[in-house]
């Protein structure tokens, strides 16, 4: 759990949730192309969106304030 001093410094948190979906035949390059499309949309000002053809696509959303997605205060992986 974050200390009150850290919350005062860092909050409100901002969160970008991105879900990418591909078929078992999707290669890494195709998946990364979707991620790059999401990045371009966020850079252009979109705060949410999706694009799909049933089994291949993405959706994303920006939110603030958000709760931390991490269980521990800090990690080095």
Residue of 67 and 37 predicted with greater confidence = 37
61: pLDDT strictly greater than 90: yes
**Closest by CA position to 67, among listed 11, 24, 25:** 11
Identify the band that residue 30 occupies on the pLDDT scale cut at 50, 70 and 90: very high
Question: Do 63 and 13 touch, CB atoms closer than 8 A?
Answer: no
Domain ranges of the chain: 11-66
pLDDT value for 51:
97
**Closest by CA position to 60, among listed 22, 5, 21:** 21
């Amino acid at each position: 759990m974050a200390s009150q001093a850290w919350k005062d410094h860092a909050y409100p948190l901002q969160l970008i949730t991105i879900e990418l979906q591909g078929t078992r035949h999707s290669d890494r390059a195709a998946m990364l192309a979707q991620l790059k499309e999401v990045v371009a949309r966020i850079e252009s000002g979109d705060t949410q969106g999706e694009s799909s053809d049933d089994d291949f696509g993405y959706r994303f959303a920006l939110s603030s304030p958000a709760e931390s997605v991490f269980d521990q205060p800090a990690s080095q992986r």
